[in-house]
Amino acid sequence: MAVKIRLARGGAKKRPHYAIVIADSRMARDGRFLEKVGTYNPLLAKDSEDRIKMDMERVQHWLDQGAQPTDRVARFLEAAGVRAKATRANLKKAEPGKKAKERAAEKAAKAEAAAE
């Protein structure tokens, strides 16, 4: 059984509140889980102690059993000092695509030719 440490959403519309749960990876996001190990309230200030609460003893137990945290939970664990900081791929979302680069090069060439 592939076990994940992930977030299960709760709360009203536009007022999210998450439970940090241990769940089988095949279960739905808000579906059945094995154990609740913490909470995350994104509406609180980032420096608030109540924003993220985790039972570190249980989280460490599940990590030792082979549970894989999702990306967001892994960031929480890195901030808490439980996991080593991982390098993440920079997706370069702001960089223009190939066609846009070609159009920009053509436009620059036209402007350069017009200036001569």
Provide the number of structural domains found in the chain: 1
Q: Which domain holds residue 50?
A: 3-80
Per-residue pLDDT of the chain (116 residues; tens, 9 = 90+): 799 999 999 999 999 999 999 999 999 988 899 999 999 999 999 999 999 999 999 999 999 999 999 999 999 999 988 888 888 777 777 788 889 999 999 999 999 888 87
Let me know if residue 61 belongs to a domain.
Answer: yes
Q: Find, among 13, 15, 14, 23, the residue nearest to 41 by Cα.
A: 15
Percent of the chain whose predicted confidence (pLDDT) is above 70: 100
Q: Find, among 59, 75, 74, the residue nearest to 22 by Cα.
A: 59
Let me know if residue 105 belongs to a domain.
Answer: no
Q: What is the CATH number of the domain that holds 19?
A: 3.30.1320.10
